[in-house]
Amino acid sequence: MLVLIAYDVNTESDAGKKRLRKVARECVNYGRRVQNSVFECIVDHAQSVMLKERLCEIIDEKLDSLRFYYLGNHYATKVEHFGVERGMKADEFLIL
């Protein structure tokens, strides 16, 4: 399923900057960055639960915000994009 993750981490302190890097690093493990603080992740249910738990452990709920949008398996008709694409699509294969 496609999960869209959006976050806003307060970076007024060094601890906030560290949280921001950790959240982004964790999201990169599961998907691709499509905006500065927005990731598209193709995950199954178990991965989705694991990722949500991990991100909730990282953020400070009094200062930061984290949103998950579950677009499901038939997401191709639910996403429109205009302008420059960033990186590969979340469901494309990378052969090295």
Task: Kindly report, residue by residue over 54-74, the tens digit of the pLDDT.
Answer: 999 999 999 999 999 998 887
pTM of the model: 0.79
| Percent of residues, the chain, with pLDDT higher than 90 | 72
In the chain the first and final C-alpha atoms are separated, in Å, by 25
Q: Specify the pLDDT at position 93.
A: 53
pLDDT surpassing 60 at residue 4? yes
- Do the beta carbons of residue 43 and residue 1 sit within 8 Å? yes
- Please name every residue paired with 68 in a beta bridge, in sequence order, or none if there are none: 5
3 pLDDT higher than 60: yes
- What amino acid occupies position 3? V
State the DSSP H helix or E strand holding residue 33, giving kind and residue range, or none if neither: strand 31-35
User: At residue 30, what is the residue type?
Assistant: Y
